[in-house]
A and B are shown apart, each in its own frame.
Chain A
Amino acid sequence: MALAERWLATRFNRPGHDIIDHYTYAIVSDGDLQEGVAAEAASLAGTLGLGKLILIYDDNQISIEGDTDIAFLEDVPRRFTAYGWQVTESIDGNDIDAVASAIDDARADTSRPSLVVCRTVIGYGSPNKAGTGGVHGAPLGDDEVALTREQLHWPYPESFTVPGEVREYLTKAVERGRGQQSDWDNTLSSYRENFPSEALRLQDALNGALAPGWSSGLSGLFDDGRAISTREASGKVMNAISDAVPNLIGGSADLAPSTLTILNSEGHIGPGNFDGRNLHFGVREHAMGAVANGIAVHGGAIPYASTFLIFSDYLRPALRLSALMEQRVIYVFTHDSIALGEDGPTHQPVEHLMSLRAMPGLVVIRPADATETAVAWQAALERTEGPTALALSRQNLPVLDRETLAPAHDASRGGYTLWESEGSDPQVIIIATGAEVHTALEAARTLDSEGIATRLVSMPSWELFDEQPKEYRDAVLPPSNRTRLSVEAGATNGWARYVGLDGASIGMSTFGASAPGGVLLEQFGFTAARVVEEARNLVNGG
């Protein structure tokens, strides 16, 4: 959020018109600060110099299992100083004036994020339970509630009673805010008059709107027919739409030369410099995902985050929250199978595609070639109601010949008949995704030449396919045809959904291995010959 504020301010503020100028306050607990993601985020914030980020650390010395002494004794202030933060002296968090003064100090330092360390007593006011682990997550109980009212001199025995003076106090804060908001409205009017085109762009940025015709740069992008990996195609797509979608910002967790997610004509955001659209998250996948969520909910930019598909594991909690919060965050995951080769099983995804498909609210798209990749990016950008994960190949793939095959645009329906034998109904339906599609296509043509009528369905996205009307889905996968074979270099759990009890799946049931990618694809049976054999068996056996 603090990053989005700085980015928007850099882009849109003009002399005399600080149209974007606000702080981000976060209250954090001991538990928060023990989590690795907080360390990653704090490190990143310190590096970038997010001076209008203020963390208020509720230092209450208690966690669920007891005193933090049992597991968390480190010198947090010194750690944050090492990250490049301003750290206030520890103050009594139950002392109103000390807190106000500390926040003033924090606001004054605009070059570094600030940590305000507040020593508090958990459950302050409860005579018997304050300062204990028990008060963290359970009701106090009637007796203790009564004793607490006494200790706090809160003379209202009836629950849910709030005296008028509280409202009066808060009214002042609300009025102050209303005043600031109306000042801002004036600034906005003046901004509209003096900087009309910026004002329109700001509006679009805040609405998250895409300009009409924004995707026109994509047509013909891959007409040269040169074989190209879908990760490289994705990079070309991003750069082709970069000007038309000026609010797309993001980066990679230290893998940009491999994920190919750099916007070439844009600057790089770095320490104290927010004029750019390329972010270097460092080897901090989880913070990257969480930062992307923060940008999304703040508004003003469309975030993308990139790493290898295998390292989606390192940011999964954030990705899940993108889905839960229905935010448009685009996750660009490359190196999507054993085909990545020599880096070996620690880097080769197996269960990841299925496990991402299992997550509600997330659309997963694994394009078969460059042309499907352009369609995938369109779908992701237009999907304002939630995140999209793109699964892309490391290896080069042929560009599907759209003169003889179905149009690329059909990929937006999640699954479509790419090619089929002429004349008769198919005896076998092969469903393939991503990099396996071209292999399956070769197999389909071979089967056809053997007199076995075959249909090849490319299914880049289960979620987009399932959203289609039943008539469409039944047209692609007729319920009467149960001779179906799936081909995907990943776990097969779940493919029964489309291939049924009478179908079969070619996939991975073990981890991969360290060897050149081509060798592994052969070794594990992702070849046209194997697809032909399995399909033949289904047709003959069934």
Chain B
Amino acid sequence: MANAIRALAMDAVEQARSGHPGMPMGLADVATVLFGRFLKFDPSSPDWPDRDRFVLSNGHGSMLLYALLYLTGYPDIDIDEIRNFRQLGSRTAGHPEYGVAAGIETTTGPLGQGLANAVGMALAERSMAARFGSELVDHHTYVVCGDGCLMEGISQEAISLAGHLRLDRLIVLYDSNDISIDGPTSLASPTTLARVSNPPVGIRSASTATIPRPSRRPSLQPRPSPGPR
């Protein structure tokens, strides 16, 4: 499946002669594990209120999301939509647009916004669970973000708030690829605390990516490969 994601991403970007292939190709394995083994979702019921939420905060990697939606059979993204990536009238815009296709949980593109939205989603889940009980409300919010997102001040604000509120059903998957547009991230960022290594990684619950809490330490650590996909 991971290679299918890579192939679709490459092909779509070639066809459009525009777009960002790097991140979808780099993160395909993480996405495969997440959707294949953990994510609670049903493409035939995209509005199921108690579904897990998946946010691609680094929205420029939109082909990753579109490939996932296509491969898992979401109704709005068929192969023609993939072919029409970044073309007028398609549902596969350069950056994911909320409201245009089922499975797109929020509009992303400007870095850091998706991560902050995800904090809101996780907060809403906890709030509803408190009001309606965990039988009816119990889901996770997964957000993929990159170096760029985490450099933005808004991410630090959101992470701080999420840690403060102990949103333990929020899981941030930090695509640590050491590259940004201007070059290696070492040009502009010191080494950060927790990294998810690529390829296949384990996913652990973490209240924040960088702010440790006394009672619940973040644990973004690699686990052995889950086996053939």
Contact = CB atoms under 8 A, between A and B. Distances in A.
Interface of A: 34-40, 43-44, 46-47, 71-75, 78-79, 82-84, 252, 254-258, 268, 270-271, 280-287, 310-311, 313-314, 341-347, 513-516, 519-520, 523
Contacts, number: 147
B21 interface: no
A282 B189 contact: yes
Given A254-B180, A342-B18, A283 B152 contact: yes
B193 interface: yes
Contact of A346 (B90, B95, B212): B95
Interface stretch (B36-44, B108-116, B123-131, B132-140): B108-116
Contacts of A344: 86, 93-95, 97, 109
A32 to B, nearest CB: 12
A256 to B, nearest CB: 5
8 contacts: A255-B181, A283-B180, A285-B152, A313-B110, A342-B94, A343-B60, A343-B109, A346-B109
Contact of B94 (A36, A37, A71, A514): A514
Interface string B14-56: 0010110000000000000000000000000000000000000
B109 A36 contact: no
Contacts of B157: 34-36, 39
Highest count of chain A CB atoms <10 Å: which of B60, B86, B163, B192:
B86
B182 A256 contact: yes
A514 B84 CA distance: 11
Contact of A82 (B149, B163, B190): B190
A285 B155 CA distance: 13
Interface in B84-109: 86-90, 93-95, 97, 107-109
B160 A72 contact: yes
Contacts of B164: 71-74
A515 B163 contact: no
A79 B95 contact: no
Highest count of chain B CB atoms <10 Å: which of A35, A38, A286, A514:
A514
B86 to A, nearest CB: 4
A282 B190 contact: no
Contact of B88 (A35, A254, A286, A513): A513
A268 B148 CA distance: 20
Given A283-B148, A343-B95, 14 more contacts: A36-B152, A36-B153, A39-B156, A75-B211, A254-B188, A281-B188, A282-B187, A283-B111, A283-B151, A344-B86, A345-B93, A346-B59, A346-B95, A519-B88
